[in-house]
Amino acid sequence: MAGAALVVSGCSGGSGVRPGVPDGGGARGEASATGSSTRAADPDEITSDDFAAVQDLLDVRAQALRRGNRKAFLATLDPGNARLRRSQEVFFDNLQDLPVDKLYYGLTESGLRPGEVRGDDPVLRPEVFEHVELSGVDELPVSNQVSITFVERGGRWLVGAENLDETFEAQSRPWYGARIEVAGDPDLLVLTDRDAAVGADALLDSTRSALADAADVLDEPDDRPLLVDATTNGLATQLSNSSGEDAGAVSFSVFATDPTGQEVTGLAGAVIKANPDFVQQLVEDSRTLRHELTHFLLDGYGGTNPQWVTEGIAEYVGYYPGLLSSSTLTDDRLLRQIRQREVELTPAGLWGNDPSLDYLTAEAFAEHLIQTYGLDKYREMMDVFKRRGRTSAIRYGEGIVEKVLRQVYGVSSDSVARGGFGLLEGLAD
């Protein structure tokens, strides 16, 4: 067993967009895309009528996407822009391959810096929010702010440009960008790039197997809705931990908002974002998948429990039935680092500075507690951290680790640290 895997697991608590969803969903009517605007004295001045006309266009766009009407969808685009048309056709095709249950747009009457559009006709870039619910894997539409610039051609507003804007980050939008491949069943959906070396079917098989294994160890049901996204779209270039190392995968929740993206209205679903560069390794060695699936199965503990607790059990399940107590580590450099490490439970403020050691020590602490006292007791500890965190706004168990360990186990934090490091010392044998 290697202490530092080639693919490092990661865990993300959320996303950059204001997350939720409106009651009922659906587009705001089915208005015509030809809305004309009432101009003020300055013919180029943007008015409320212009924002309303853009919303009408977005409603037509959403209807065309839901109904699979390519002609109507393409008619919402600025004609003559071949590059925009190509990217939007991929976007359209991707959504047709997905089990879209709801899709609609909302906007606010605020102006952002517009993207580049040919000519000198009036342009407008409001805050636009896209809401998409995938049947089976989402409970509410996932809300994403999108960067669309509109241009008025002959009294009619059209989509003039759509760009990825680094000033805000999509929660989960794998349908925008590269052409995707889709595989799955009603509650487990897997996405890869269409031309990926490892396709969606292969990753689906590995995910099903890893999910069954993790659920069996944790005695949890394995039929909760989940989206596994291994495309190069969205967060693919940002899969790293605080040390800057690439992560093999991250798990997070996605949220719904009101139509204008101003208020979170609920939890929409769960996503595991797999690093597309490491999918082959994920399929060949399912440890990272089991790790992230443990976070998925134990959703709700991440912000309240110490990282060594949540990451420790994820590593424990990832390697199970392999245990540190029956393993040998051949990396002399890592062995020296273990001996130089402070014998303590990793404080929240230091977590992630040295991922190889942080994850390995967390696994050791978890294995010591689970093998000594049982998994049920470990889950009880997690529940106590969760309850205390909810009632007193404690993050990552800071300030209460000693109290919780004594309450649940009747031992000190020093005792747990020594037990974990005892397992690590045995790796040199």
- DSSP string for residues in 62-131: HHHHHHT-HHHHHTTBPTT-HHHHHHHHHHHHHHHHS-EEEEEEEEEEEE------SSSS-EE-EEEEEE
What was the pLDDT predicted at 124? 96
- pLDDT confidence of residue 244: 55
pLDDT above 60: residue 329 = yes
CATH 3.10.450.50 domain position(s) in the chain: 48-163
| H/E stretch holding 180 | strand 180-185
Separation in Å, CA 17 to CA 35, 130, 237, 253, 300: 29, 11, 17, 12, 19
Quickly tell me which residue has 């089915």 as its tokens.
30
pLDDT band of residue 41 (cuts 50, 70, 90) is: very low
CATH topology assigned to domain 48-163: Nuclear Transport Factor 2; Chain: A, (3.10.450)
Cα–Cα distance for residue pair 69/345, rounded to 1 Å? 57
Query: In 187-294, at which residue ranges do the beta strands (DSSP E only) sit?
Result: 188-193, 226-230, 247-257, 264-274
Cα–Cα dist 39/43, whole Å: 5
- Give the pLDDT band of residue 10 (cuts 50, 70, 90): low
Q: Which of 44, 46, 22 is nearest to 143 (CA)?
A: 22
Q: Which two tokens stand for residue 60?
A: 């037509």
Q: What is the mean pLDDT of the chain?
A: 87
Give the pair of three-digit tokens for residue 340: 């130089």
Q: What is the pLDDT of residue 11?
A: 58
Q: Is the pLDDT of residue 385 over 70?
A: yes
Q: Does the structure show a pLDDT above 50 at 318? A: yes
Alpha helices of 374-410 — where are they, by DSSP H?
A: 375-392, 401-408
- Cβ atoms 19, 342 nearer than 8 A: no
Q: How many residues does the chain have?
A: 429
Residue 206 makes CB contacts below 8 A (sequence gap 6+) with: 282, 283, 286, 289
For residue 230, which phi and psi values (nearest 5 degrees)? -115, 25
DSSP character for 273? E
- For residue 249, what pLDDT band results from cuts at 50, 70 and 90? confident
* Interval 318-345 mean pLDDT: 91
Do residues 202 and 213 touch, judged by C-beta distance below 8 A?
Answer: no
Decide: helix, strand or coil at residue 190.
strand
pTM above 0.95, yes or no: no
4 pLDDT tier (thresholds 50, 70, 90): very low
pLDDT above 50 (res 34): no
Spatial CA neighbour of 419 closest among 358, 343, 309:
343
Residues 6+ apart with CB under 8 A from 363: 312, 315, 316, 319, 324
Instruction: Return the structure tokens found at 87.
Output: 């990217």
- Residue-wise burial string across 377-402, b where 16 or more C-beta atoms lie within 10 A, e elsewhere: ebbbbbebbbebbeeeebebbeebbe
Cβ neighbours around 308 below 10 Å, total = 29
**Cis peptide leading into residue 321 (ω within 30°):** yes
What pLDDT does residue 18 have? 30
| Between 196 and 237, residue with greater pLDDT | 196
Q: Name every residue whose Cβ is closer than 8 Å to that of residue 181 and which is 6 or more positions away in sequence.
A: 191, 192, 193, 194, 196, 199, 200
